Amino acid sequence: MRGARHAKWAAAAAAVALAATACGGGGSGGSSGEGVLSAWWGDPQNPLEPANTTEVQGGKVLDMVMRGLKRYNPKTGAAEDAVAEKIETTDAQNFTVKLKDWKFSNGEQVTAESFVNAWNYAANVKNKQKGAPFFGYIEGYDKVHPEKGDPTAETMSGLKVVDPKTFTVKLNQKFSTWPETLGYNAFAPLPKAFFDDRDAWLSKPVGNGPYTVDNYAKGSAMNLKKWEEYPGADKAQNNGVDLRVYTENTAAYNDLVAGNLDLLDDVPAAQIQNVKNDVNGRYASPAAGIIQTLAFPFYKPEWKTEGAAKVRKGISRAINRKQITESIFHNTRTPATDWTSPVLKEEGGYKAGLCGADCEYDAAEAKKLITEGGGIPGGQLKISYNADGGSHKDWVDAVCNSINNALGDNKACVGNPIGTFADFRSKVTKGEMDGPFRAGWQMDYPLIQNFLEPLYYTGSSSNDGQWSNKDFDKLMNEANAEVDTKKAVETYQKAEKVVADDMAAIPLWYQNGSVAYSDRVSNVALNPFSIPVYGEIKVN
Amino acid sequence: MGRYVIRRLLQMIPVFFGATLLIFLMVNVMGDPVAGLCGDRKCDPAVAAQLKKDFGLDQPVWQQYLTYLGNLFTGDFGRAFNGQKVTELMSTAFPVTFRLTLVAIVFEIVIGISLGVLTGLRRGRPIDTGFLLLTLIVISVPTFVTGLLLQLLLGVKWGWVKPAVSPAATFDELLLPGLVLASVSLAYVTRLTRTSVAENARADYVRTAVAKGLPRRRVISRHLLRNSLIPVVTFIGTDVGALMGGAIVTERIFNIHGVGYQLYQGIVRQSSQTVVGFVTILVLVYLVANLIVDLLYAVLDPRIRYA
């Protein structure tokens, strides 16, 4: 039969094709067990090394699996001793660190070497750790992390092991509040197992935190189990956490409402209005250490002039922050009146109203300031943002509308979308911006210093607008060297005032976190970094 | 016949090179991928330089392409920026999307062709007009609307299915996403089959078969349907490729960690290795699906021969 013969060939071709595209089996699923909660997760962008994780999703895991010298109190944000017994200094430059008796979950002792080796590993440019600049204050950093070329040393000269429970740190400048930065994940210790077999460690991280990694299916899920012998005070209150990667937060939201998911800390913007009804009020939106600003390209001469400072103040006064936070964000943002964040609290350096009238909406005054300053450089304000996520278009358009209305010119301001986040960041860091651009800052540690130095200090890592001011730099140096914390904070605020006087960036609003949860869990809270405090969650 | 297959397989080689080169260039136009790796802060310049060196991004594009091709022939598809091997991503993503496509195709064949035959044989009757209208609606409503609506109704409001698919993505979980994915094509298959059946129903050989006194069932299945299926098979064959690559929207809505999701992630994170690798495989799938369609013609219609 001819037909049959042809069928044979078709079948043969199909078999070849199938063999060529055939692949292994899929991942494993399964529901959460007794006392275990399931939580939304985003796929971390980088491998889960402590110093290589600079975003929230990886940070969640490290927060559960690792413990550093300090830990930020999930309620107050204060840096409290975790593995550190005490950290002492007399001159704000030389520190002696004493450790508590502590173990890794694989039985290894946490020693001074666990820290020193981890930090040297993190700082070495050859290891390509994105958090390496956090170690920049330690003496000898420039040798292991030169700006160009290969490192000339393997270890930082500022780190010395005294005995298994003690090590000393010498900084390359005075920095009195340096110990308070040590709660950041990048400073976590690493066990020997990491240095013996990095790949194996990355596929199943072993740490010294309240949870251990039970199973990690990269890109789809991670199952964490309570570590019963955890030596710290903050033992997990549940038996474990199942982190599930979702393709989109809308899918996660539907799963939560349908009762298949226990915790979602990224409520879709479109659902903010409905969330309280949908989950019967099991929703919270506490303040987070995030501020959104508009940054300016100070590498363009037209933005550097005296008049341009007036124009920036004028633009700031033309933005109706209250209206935008209400109508666009449904009060999940709060209008900003300084350049830090309310989570710092007053004693930490937050000062409501530091911006003064310059951050208050006044259309007439805005128009006057902009005209006095010589008008908007280039005739039109183009606000650049990345169009691929975070629904930035909505608020940029709203800001532009507000400016256009204030100036009575509907072409004064337009949004300038840039396709992807990566492309946006690449243009920003290369200095290719012509006008203002979206800038967001999420704090690494709850210190006012972290809201100022990385963003406005001359040549600093995140000073994207390349703003530079001698007075500001001088005040920052003074504040860093100040041993008395209260005086240091006052000096930081003086420096912040310099930022305000020049309107180096227009503060827009403070961002809140958002979390919704199922009726299976209780005692849900977000810490000042807007990460859920997993360890304190109780499963009913 | 054998020579024909070999010739077609050989033709895939230039298509393969052309496609990979085009995709490679397009991904490179998107700009500097390392800048997106450090969030809202600037990457440390020394670290960024090391990363670029590692991924070979400091070399000219043509050299990057040659290196990539060289690695490809040793089975090395490179690594995504999170350090995962692209082959590892493929081994988890392709089986999932393959299952989803299979579900969708089965829906297309079973429902699409049955409805097509039903309406084709009752041309002009109310049932025909009714389904014609229905397919028109399905075609004109975008997939993400159908998807989100069904997810909300069946998943959240009525609780018949889980709104999000688990990482295991078993067949029963994929029924709803598969139906959504197939919906538009399903409507097209119905329409194609209907037209073809309606046309052939009046052909001489059908009248002959009826006149011979063959039972109606046999006339329809052996004579009428077999001849009417050629355009439908063409459509379904090319649709396999389209479904596997075009499931981006459906996969994101239903939380399916398949090819579409990985491609989306790759594009957003500008991970050229992921995008080029996945698209290359998709191009191959498309080519092979087309070849199988061409060979199936000969099975359906003995008058068609390949030499």
Comparing C-alpha atoms, which of A136, A144, A128 is closest to residue A53?
A128
Residue A29's pLDDT is what? 36
Q: Please give the single-letter amino acid code of residue A408.
A: G
CB contact under 8 A, B46 and A17: no
- Assigned token pair, A535: 């360890």
Q: How confident is the prediction along chain B (307 residues), in pLDDT tens digits per residue?
A: 788 888 888 888 898 888 888 888 888 776 677 777 776 667 788 888 888 888 778 888 888 888 888 888 888 888 887 778 888 889 989 999 999 999 999 999 999 999 999 999 888 899 999 999 999 999 999 888 989 999 989 888 888 888 888 888 888 889 999 999 999 899 999 999 999 999 998 889 889 999 999 998 888 888 888 888 888 888 888 888 788 876 888 898 999 999 988 888 888 887 888 888 888 888 888 888 888 888 888 877 777 777 6
Helix axes A306-318, A363-372, angle to 10 degrees: 160
Beta strands in A56-106, from DSSP E residues, in sequence order: 70-72, 79-81, 84-89, 94-99
pLDDT of residue B307: 61
pLDDT at A457: 93
How many angstroms separate the CA atoms of B65 and B253, rounded? 34
Give the DSSP letter of residue A281: T
Which residue in the set A45, A130, A251 is minimally distant from B47, CB to CB? Answer: A130
Residue B15 contacts residue A437 (beta carbons within 8 Å): no
Instruction: Divide the 540 residues of chain A into consecutive groups of 10 and give the mean pLDDT of each group.
Output: 51 47 36 80 89 88 94 90 93 93 94 96 91 91 89 93 95 89 93 94 94 91 94 93 91 91 89 89 90 94 90 94 91 92 89 92 93 90 85 91 92 90 84 90 88 91 90 93 88 94 94 92 91 92
Q: Give contacts of A427 with chain B, Cβ < 8 Å.
A: 31
pTM of the model: 0.83
Query: Could you tell me which of B253, B130, B245, B98 has the C-alpha nearest to residue B180?
Result: B253
Question: What stretch of H or E contains A395?
Answer: helix A392-407
| Contact assessment for residue A462 and residue A443, using Cβ atoms and an 8 Å cutoff | no
pLDDT for residue A16: 47
Q: Which residues of A touch B156 (CB under 8 A)?
A: 254, 257-258
Is A262 within 8 Å of A37 (Cβ atoms)?
A: yes
* Contact assignment for A26 to B90 by CB distance below 8 Å: no
- The CA radius of gyration of chain A, in Å to the nearest whole number, is 26
Residues of B in contact with A25 (CB under 8 A): 95
**pLDDT of B118-138, one tens digit each?**
999 888 899 999 999 999 999
**Model pLDDT, residue A427:** 87
- Which amino acid is it at B209? A
The minimal CB distance from A9 to the residues B5, B90, B91 is found for B5
Q: Given this model, what pLDDT does residue A23 score? A: 36
